[in-house]
Amino acid sequence: MKFFVDTADVDAIRELNDLNLVDGVTTNPSLIAKSGRDILEVTKEICDMVDGPVSAEVVATEYEAMIEEGRKLAEIAPNIAIKVPLTLDGLRACKTFTSEGQMVNVTLCFSANQALLAAKAGATFISPFVGRLDDINIDGLELIADIRQIYDNYGYETQILAASIRSANHMSDCAKIGADVATAPPAVIKAMANHVLTDKGLAAFLSDAKTAGIKIV
Ligand code: G3P
């Protein structure tokens, strides 16, 4: 499963990139606003840092304006994935961009029917929001499983990009279900390495090494 980092924080991306844990980056208007940076400037800096797809989201809601904004974002770098909302205008824009060979990430997906429409519009990525469904007591991981089944039934090439990831368990659950990608905040990706028994075991090893006076260099 590929790891995308869900942030516009360039320092956090750089830290994870140095750990080879970044296969791509996803941003959205809220994350760009949180960075306090100009969207074109910060997106360019991220694209220069990361080899994989970088999702940059339009803020227009009408088809014509989405096309204009999407083309402006695509000019930033070849690894841009234009992010459009799962609306009828967004799906129409998706079809136009993908027919022009542009990567498209269709976002704000909350149902299997929405994901089916995105695949038929030729989306490169579909972003179902796991955490936001969990927030309203709907099983977000079940949606990932339903989309996986539908896409496999018909051989759709759209990649399932599990989004709104809230925990390390969400990551392993998405991997078990067979999501192609999961995008998570930096802290969640780092937390995947944590295990109390690893810490306990390491402490015991180090204590025994010290007692025995083990010296390697
Ligand atoms: O980038 C889209 C999505 O991952 C946002 O997640 O945490 O705001 O629900 P969240």
Q: What is the pLDDT of residues 169-208, one digit of tens each?
A: 999 999 999 999 999 999 999 999 999 999 999 999 999 9
Q: Known catalytic residues?
A: 83
pLDDT at 111: 98
* Gap between the Cα atoms of 143 and 129, Å rounded: 9
Question: Average pLDDT of the chain?
Answer: 98
- Give pLDDT tens digits for 54-83: 999 999 999 999 999 999 999 999 999 999
Atom of ligand 1 nearest to the CA of 28: 1
Find the 211 Cα to ligand 1 centroid distance in Å.
Answer: 48
pLDDT band at 212 (very low <50, low <70, confident <90, very high): very high
**CA-wise closest residue to 69 among 159, 48, 80:** 80
For 184-214, b/e burial (b = at least 16 CB within 10 A) is bbbebbbeeeeeeeeeeeeeeeeeeeeeeee
Mutate to test the pocket of ligand 1, among 4, 5, 6 (most ligand atoms within 8 A of CB): 6
Residues with CB under 6 A from ligand 1: 6, 26, 28, 129, 131-132, 163-164, 183
Q: Which residue has its alpha carbon closest to ligand 1 atom 7? A: 164
Q: What is the average pLDDT across 97-119?
A: 98
Using pLDDT thresholds of 50, 70 and 90, give the confidence band for residue 32. Answer: very high
95 CA to middle of ligand 1, Å? 24
Ligand 1 nearest-atom number relative to CA 27: 1
Confidence of residue 7 (pLDDT cuts 50, 70, 90): very high
What average pLDDT score do residues 135-164 get? 98
CA 203/CA 124 separation, integer angstroms: 45
